Amino acid sequence: MLVIKNLHANIEGKEILKGIDLEIKAGEVHAIMGPNGSGKSTLANVLAGNEGYEITGGEIIFEGKNLLELDPEDRAREGVFLAFQYPVEIPGVSNATFLKTAINEVRKYHNQPELTPKEFLDLMKEKSKILGMEEALISRSVNVGFSGGEKKRNEIFQLLMLNPKFALLDETDSGLDIDALKIVSNGVNIFKAKDKAVLVVTHYQRLLNYIQPDFVHVLYKGKIIKSGGKELALELEDKGYDWIKPELVESEIV
Amino acid sequence: MNEIKENLENQEELSEDMKVLDELTSTEYKWGFVTEIESETAPKGLNEDVIRLISSKKNEPEWMTEWRLKAFRYWQKMEEPHWPNVNYPPIDYQDISYYSAPKQKPQLNSLDEVDPELLKTFEKLGIPLNEQKLLTGVAVDAVFDSVSVTTTFKETLKEKGIIFCSISEAIQEHPDLVKKYLGSVVPYTDNYFAALNSAVFSDGSFVFIPKGVRCPMELSTYFRINAQETGQFERTLIIAEESSYVSYLEGCTAPIRDNNQLHAAVVELVALDDAEIKYSTVQNWYPGDKEGKGGIYNFVTKRGACRGKNSKISWTQVETGSAITWKYPSCILQGDNSIGEFYSVAVTNNLQQADTGTKMIHLGKNTRSTIISKGISAGRSNNSYRGLVKIGKNAEGARNFTQCDSMLMSDQCGAHTFPYIEVENESAKVEHEATTSKVGADQLFYLNQRGIATEDAVNMIVNGFCKEVFNELPMEFAVEAQKLLAISLEGSVG
Ligand SMILES: Nc1ncnc2c1ncn2[C@@H]1O[C@H](COP(=O)(O)OP(=O)(O)O)[C@@H](O)[C@H]1O
Ligand SMILES: [Mg+2]
């Protein structure tokens, strides 16, 4: 589904991603872990097409298409969804208006008819129940006055509403208490399917107890320095990152 | 020097998105066509003879002519004010024609007698004057250059005792009401443009709602400037007697002209005990081109008097047009427990300038006022909110809440807030909140990431920003206003 080859990206002239290679197949769940500042959000934003980042090399192929040639809205319409680490507020625009517009834009792109108001409402009801969202939250302005946890929940609600092919979750677990974490993970697990893929970005392993990854990658200073199965996450939880940091590993050898 | 450099750097920083949008800014003003119609236009220039000519063209009684002349003589002694935060070259008042009317039969008995070119013009503007085609529930008075073309649904309204006609007709048919109220809220001595208007006003609407009557439909006036080098000076007077209610709407457009045209209207509202007047404006005069050439100077005095106890006046305005807008729809809260409201969206793009706001003058006890102002600046435009909240010494328990929000769409535009507060009664509560925000790259990216293209995203953000004001407009007009906003701002993020 997604192939990333030797991806390099800068922000404000500083190189953040220094050659990322990653392949994600349909049906798989990947996790990217790594300490703060290692470039996880940068990778997520670059995949989604945030123009604040400059791509200086490499390729991103999504379902056979060169993602780097697509505008962010077209990437979204192709099925790339980013659950933001810091969802923004849009005052005066209700969640419902926003989602209806978004869904219909995606449908238009695929030559599908718009949802009727009833279809849309039924969909809202079904998906909001999964996330335990109160109706009040849905009629309120997008993320305005939402608590940190409610914002994250709203991101996964949008994921289920839009039902894309590929979900990128950037620190979706941060700011969630244990009950909310279960609800949100359950939402992601409902999304998971043979023809979908998930990339979970986190620096805690606790989320991975609920969303079981097939592969875990460690991102450090803009490079993937280790990949493995889900047991790698547990190992990281135990031992921290130091034992795999290249400069430390090297100094031990010396 | 440093400033210029910074500006250039800022410009270079515009993201790709915004550049694409900038190119789209070239959307043309869609109401800019000219109607080919035979007109009778007064020679340029202003003197007592011209005023007598206007008055006689309108068959006015002597008292009206005298009133105009008094206003003119007063105006001659006044100086054009220059305190607003706007810039324009000096206006040559002798280079303007003060009267232009389509040639047609003097008395119109039905729509069939209206020049078909005129009917077509209003159809093109989306204002069909044929009663069958009109939105039910909206009666329209159409003003073309200096004269009222037709007023619809007159008969339906008459049954309730409501008078809705052109001010010229009211001067003929209801002189006592006009004499009693004209100039009672905005006297001709009020300000330079009010004095000028009083001397030369051409047409406008007159509304009278008798005691205890709720006007069953929206009343609407549509103003159209067509002729070149003429000014438009409408005069509107609305009187709501005890316990009555009326909702009134006004819309305006003008053709594209290279020269600036002056529009100096006066609107007076009077609400007696327990009466309510809702006055909504969607102002879309020609704003001038991208380089700031042409456009209407919109210098308007609008004021409402809440004379009776428990009376209420609400001003809602969506200002997207005009090269320069200079207006402060105000409320004089005389009656105890009376309420004044001002909801405003002012959009400026390219080189437009707007200095707009309100005055809430609290005189009676427990008077309340609310001010919600949303300024949106794009391009190299300049947008100022200027508002006065005055609490008189007898206004025991008066309250005001003011919220002024500005949104910036580019690095080269300006947003300014000038709130003036004068409190002479200790028991008053006055609250003022102000925010300034930029349409953020992060907001746009968030919406893009959900499949919404940038222009739609901008519209969504801007409409959200204006929502509290749009909520105050009657349904169909809220939809119009949203569309207008989208057009005015098309491609303006940068
Ligand atoms: N807008 C920005 N301007 C400058 N540096 C940034 C910006 N955003 C992120 N960075 C830097 O890029 C690096 C990677 O950040 P990020 O991708 O957010 O890391 P992570 O998500 O792994 O914590 C960090 O050193 C951070 O300081
Ligand atoms: Mg991050």
In terms of CA atoms, which chain A residue is nearest residue B442?
A88
Whether the CB-CB separation of B335 and B365 falls below 8 Å is answered with no
Please give the single-letter amino acid code of residue A158.
Answer: Q
Q: In whole angstroms, how far apart are CA B122 and each of A114, B211, B226, B252, B264?
A: 34, 33, 12, 11, 22
Give the pLDDT of residue B12.
Answer: 35
Task: Kindly state the tokens that stand for B201.
Answer: 């006003």
Contacts of B158 (CB under 8 A, 6+ apart): none
Chain A CB contacts of B15 under 8 Å are: 51-52
Nearest by CB to B451, from A76, A92, A93: name it: A76
Q: What is the pTM of this model?
A: 0.80
Whose Cα sits closest to atom 27 in ligand 1? A37
Residue A115 phi/psi, 5° resolution?
A: -70, 140
Distance A129 CA to ligand 2 centre (A): 28
Amino acid code (one letter) for B177: L
Q: Do B449 and A162 touch (CB under 8 A)?
A: no
Q: Taking CB atoms and an 8 Å cutoff, what residues of chain A touch B440?
A: 88
Q: How far is A242 from A18, CA to CA, in rounded Å?
A: 20
Neighbours of B352 (CB within 10 A): 29
DSSP, res A41:
H
Secondary structure class of A46 (helix, strand, coil): helix
Q: Does B461 touch chain A (CB under 8 A)?
A: yes
What are the pLDDT digits (tens) for A179-220?
A: 999 999 999 999 999 999 999 998 788 889 999 999 999 999
Helix residue spans in chain A (DSSP H)? 40-48, 72-78, 95-109, 117-130, 135-139, 148-162, 178-191, 231-239, 246-253
- Ligand 1 pocket test: pick from A42, A43, A174, A224 the residue with the most ligand atoms within 8 Å of its Cβ: A42
Q: Complex ipTM, two decimals?
A: 0.95
CB contact under 8 A, B464 and A109: no
Which of A10, A11, A46, A86 to mutate for ligand 1's pocket (most ligand atoms within 8 Å of CB)?
A11
Residue from A75, A31, A83 nearest A227 by CA: A31
Cα(B219) to centroid of ligand 2, in Å? 56
Residue of A52, A81, A102 lying closest to B452 (CB–CB): A102
Per-residue pLDDT of chain B (494 residues; tens, 9 = 90+): 333 333 333 333 333 333 333 333 335 555 555 556 566 677 788 899 889 988 988 889 999 999 999 999 999 999 888 887 778 788 888 888 787 766 654 444 555 556 666 666 666 655 555 554 444 455 666 666 555 556 667 777 888 999 988 898 899 999 999 999 999 999 999 999 999 999 999 878 899 999 999 998 888 777 665 555 566 788 999 999 999 999 988 876 655 555 667 788 999 999 999 999 999 988 777 777 777 777 778 889 999 999 999 999 999 988 887 778 888 999 999 999 999 999 999 888 878 888 889 999 999 999 999 999 999 888 888 888 999 999 999 999 999 999 999 988 888 888 888 999 999 999 999 999 998 888 888 999 999 999 999 989 988 998 899 988 988 887 767 777 777 777 777 766 65
Of all residues in chain B, the one with the smallest CA distance to A84 is B446
Alpha carbon distance B346, A124 (integer Å): 35
- Which residues does a 6 A CB cutoff place in the pocket of ligand 1? A 11-12, 16, 34, 36-42
How deeply is A202 buried, as exposed, middle or buried, from its count of CB atoms within 10 A (0-12, 13-18, 19+)? buried
CB proximity under 8 Å: A 202-231 to B: none
Distance A36 CA to ligand 2 centre (A): 7
| Tokens at B485, concatenated | 């906003």
Cα–Cα distance for residue pair B455/B453, rounded to 1 Å: 6
In this predicted structure, what is the pLDDT of residue A136?
Answer: 80
B133-160 CB burial, b ≥16 within 10 A, e <16? ebeeebbbbbbbbbbbbbbbbbeebeee
A164 touches chain B (CB under 8 A): no
